[in-house]
């Protein structure tokens, strides 16, 4: 196996001691991201202190409700999949998308009302993404303290897509499964750090597994993606993806999450761009915390 990793990145569940805010200069700062009309108001970004690098707590300026969350998901999921949507808007739509799923996780009783207010095609997407998110949350459980990671900008999306497709050509593993694993493991290389189990690199390999299947550098996205495809192929891919993914991380929750995310990209390649822009969050007793680019724990 590559690892049985305590922290995968669908959502990290971390307990933090308090939420008082401080910027590096000792001052307070906020930023507002305006939602579309009728989507439940703005999102206020408020700093939260750490000993090393500021992180941000996201709290809604106006209380959301099932109608606003449904509107956000209809806008985000439809927009991400539409060929008419310009690429400059994709990061905003992905932020809207990810925030809406966090709201659904926090308010599970809203799910039936949200699903009733979106179109049938988007209803299926929401059910798949929400189920995948919940599977990863259940797999991770609760942890204590912030992870010792650096958060960096990922390689360009088209570069990653080229790597996935190169791996598919060589090993027959559909690129969407590689992208789904990459999304869960390190948010497509946003996270630099070692898991609590000792897994390393953008595809989170244990050193012994890397020694058998890796070529080049464990920290290089290109080399790691090819190694992941090589490992999956050795364990039954592409004919038995379930078994191959289970060997990658021996949890059926993990397998289900990977397959659900992959299926969304198989149906619509543009779903990959939405996932590409998803950010790194930890979940605390006081709300979700964003680890932005530049964070070092």
Domain locations in the chain?
12-144+277-291, 150-268
117/15: higher pLDDT: 117
Output the pLDDT for position 253.
98
The alpha-helical segments, DSSP class H, found in 7-147 are: 66-81, 90-106, 111-116, 120-140
Chain CA centroid to CA 269, Å: 17
Class in CATH terms, 150-268? mainly alpha
Output the pLDDT for position 57.
45
Percent of the chain with pLDDT over 70: 76
pLDDT in tens, 121-135: 999 999 999 999 999
pLDDT band at 142 (very low <50, low <70, confident <90, very high): low
State yes or no: pLDDT of 264 exceeds 80. Answer: yes
Predicted TM-score (pTM) of this structure? 0.82
Output the pLDDT for position 31.
30
pLDDT in tens, 163-202: 999 999 999 999 999 999 999 999 999 999 998 889 999 9
In angstroms, rounded to a whole number, what is the distance separating the alpha carbons of residues 178 and 183?
9
Angle at 258 between CA 225 and CA 227, to 5 degrees: 20
In angstroms, rounded to a whole number, what is the distance separating the alpha carbons of residues 250 and 232?
13
pLDDT in tens, 195-226: 888 999 999 999 999 999 999 999 999 999 99
Mean pLDDT along residues 256-283? 96
């Amino acid at each position: 196996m590559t690892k049985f990793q305590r922290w995968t990145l669908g959502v990290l569940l971390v307990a933090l001691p308090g939420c008082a805010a401080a910027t590096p200069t000792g001052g307070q700062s906020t930023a507002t991201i305006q939602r579309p009309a009728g989507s439940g108001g703005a999102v206020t970004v408020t700093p939260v202190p750490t000993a090393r690098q500021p992180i941000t707590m996201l709290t809604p300026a106006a209380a959301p409700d099932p109608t606003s969350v449904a509107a956000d998901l209809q806008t985000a999921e439809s927009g991400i999949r539409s060929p008419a949507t310009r690429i400059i808007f994709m990061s905003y739509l992905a932020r809207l998308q990810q925030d809406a799923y966090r709201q659904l996780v926090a308010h599970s009783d809203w799910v039936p009302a949200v699903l009733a207010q979106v179109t049938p095609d988007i209803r299926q997407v929401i059910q798949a993404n929400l189920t995948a998110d919940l599977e990863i949350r259940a797999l991770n459980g609760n942890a204590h303290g912030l992870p010792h990671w650096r958060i960096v900008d990922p390689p360009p999306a088209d570069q990653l897509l080229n790597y996935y497709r190169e791996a598919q050509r060589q090993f027959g593993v559909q690129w969407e499964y590689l992208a789904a694993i990459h999304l869960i493991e390190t948010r497509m290389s946003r996270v630099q750090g070692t898991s609590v189990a000792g897994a390393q690199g953008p595809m989170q390999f244990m050193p012994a597994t890397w020694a058998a299947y890796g070529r080049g550098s464990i920290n290089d996205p290109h080399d790691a993606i090819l190694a992941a495809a090589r490992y999956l192929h050795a364990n039954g891919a592409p004919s038995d993806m379930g078994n191959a993914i289970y060997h990658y991380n021996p949890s059926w929750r993990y397998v289900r999450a990977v397959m659900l995310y992959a299926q969304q990209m198989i149906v619509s390649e543009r779903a990959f761009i939405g996932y590409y822009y998803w950010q790194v969050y930890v979940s605390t007793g006081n709300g979700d915390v964003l680890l932005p680019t530049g964070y070092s724990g």
